[in-house]
Amino acid sequence: MASYLPLILRNILRNRRRTGFTMASVAVSICLVGVLFALTRALFFGGEATPGQAKRVVVHHKIALTQDLPAVYEQTIQKIPGVRAVTSLQWFGGTYKDPGDPKNRFAQFAIEPKTLFEVYPEFHISQSQREAFVSQKTACVASRALAEKLGWKPGERITLVGGMLRATLELTLAGIFDPPPSDASPVLYFNRDYLRDSLLPGDPRRDAVQQFYVETDNKDAVSEINRQIDDAFAESSYPTKSEPEEAFMLSFVSFLGNLKLFLAAICGAVTFTLLLITTNMLSMSVRERTREVGILKTLGFSDGEILGMVVGEASLIAVAGGLVGCILAGGLCTAIASAMRSAPGFVSVVRGLSFSPLVAALTVCLALLIGFVSSIAPGLYAARTSIVQTLQYNG
């Protein structure tokens, strides 16, 4: 087959415009499929869990995220073997300055200052700032994105007026931390105890948290730890659900509706269309060269060899187009990921959109498959036409 490569190549280059446009068509469609594959992977298969994420577990109320859990659960969780650090998370949702300005809206959580950075070792913060955060009750830390957005420097006084929780907090920015580049959301963390003190003694929400973030020793123990946590509270009035962090993030994807179906349908449609288009191109091209096929057969080429050449030509065009499509897809994925870096909420998982080697390989395989399948009909036609028929062909 390889010896026919020069012949195949010359055929491909014979009508450069048609080959070019066919390849372009393939490239664009493959690019689309590639991006969809990457999206599916990011949304449904966790994309790339960072090593830090792999060891972290999120514990929340079994029924809904918005339901409260007692703060005392922390002590029980701490005692489970394999748990290195636990921090509770209480969502505050206060108003900062004028809430009409979108940049003044950001996530605020009350946490345990001591354990925050143990649970999130990837958060980088200077030692002195970390210590300041731990030692001052009214201290808070902000992510770099938030600090930059609002022009905060350490020492900044930040007032948050509570909504659902009736408290007004006067905080001082003790430090700014750098989360890993894939997570650029603006967020503020402050001290649980300060919130607790600010709420009236009779307020039942004093000891209520929404989540616990647990750092484990190693990722293989995660499912066992999850089971133990949930078992511990299964019978209480506040049952829990513990899951690895990536799974937790992904559960928000269901918010986008029946996305799986949507994506699958589109992938199917695109692949189908591409198949049609490529088969069409090839058929036209083969039909045009019917005469030539006849001559080749007269010279002694067998039906099988003719078929092989047609398939070879199609595969080459498809793979070439596929490779270009992969490059385009990679670029598009990076573009989408960075465009989504500061997107709120659930769409954040798209931040992790990457065109990994696995997805690239899958995409190229699809291209090859399409080239192959689309060449069968025209190839068989060319192989089976009798010599006499081809010589009578008048275009």
Partner 1 sequence: MTVPFSYNIRNLVVRKTTTLMTAMGIALSVAILVASLALVNGLRTVFANTANPLQLLVLRKGSHAELGSTVPTEDFAIVRSKPGIAADRSGQPLTSQELVNVANLPSLDNPKGMNITVRGLSPVGIEMRKVRLVAGRWFQPGQREVVVGEAVAHRYPSARIAHRIRFGKGDWKIVGVMDGGQSALNSEIWGDFNQISAEYNQQDSSSSVLLRATDPVSLDALKHSIEDDPRLNASTITESDYYHGQTASGAPLEFLGILVSVIMAIGSAFATTNIMYAAVARRAKEIGTLKTLGFSDGSILLSFLSESVLLAALAGVLGCLIALPLNWVTTGVGSMVSFSEIAFRFHVSIAALFSGIIFAVVLGAVGGALPARAAAKKEILSALREA
259 is a site residue for partner 1 (CB under 8 A):
yes
Element (H, E) at 152: none
**Can you list the alpha helix ranges (DSSP code H) found in the chain?**
5-14, 16-44, 51-54, 73-79, 113-119, 127-135, 144-150, 192-198, 222-233, 245-250, 259-288, 290-298, 303-339, 357-384, 387-392
25 is a site residue for partner 1 (CB under 8 A):
yes
- The footprint of partner 1 on residues 340-379 (CB under 8 A) is 344-347
Q: Please say which residue, 80 or 366, places its beta carbon nearer to partner 1.
A: 366
Q: Please say which residue, 93 or 121, places its beta carbon nearer to partner 1.
A: 93
- The footprint of partner 1 on residues 27-86 (CB under 8 A) is 28-29, 31-32, 36, 63-67
- The footprint of partner 1 on residues 101-160 (CB under 8 A) is none
Q: What is the C-alpha to C-alpha distance for residues 161 and 82, in angstroms, rounded to an integer?
A: 38
The least distance separating partner 1 from the CB of residue 331, rounded to whole angstroms, comes to 13
Q: What is the C-alpha to C-alpha distance for residues 193 and 11, in angstroms, rounded to an integer?
A: 76
Stretch that binds partner 1, among 24-32, 173-181, 185-193, 309-317 (CB under 8 A): 24-32
Q: What is the C-alpha to C-alpha distance for residues 353 and 42, in angstroms, rounded to an integer?
A: 6
**Measuring CA to CA, which residue among 161, 41, 155, 30 is closest to residue 95?**
161
- Pick from 24, 234, 264, 387 the residue near partner 1 by CB under 8 A: 24
273 is a site residue for partner 1 (CB under 8 A):
yes
The least distance separating partner 1 from the CB of residue 65, rounded to whole angstroms, comes to 8
Sorted by sequence, the CB contacts under 8 Å of residue 143 that are 6+ apart come out as 176, 177, 178, 179, 184, 185, 186, 187, 188
Binding residues (CB under 8 A) for partner 1: these are 17-18, 21-22, 24-25, 28-29, 31-32, 36, 63-67, 93-95, 99, 161, 163-164, 166, 204-205, 237, 251, 254-259, 262, 266, 269-270, 272-274, 276-277, 279-281, 283-284, 344-347, 395
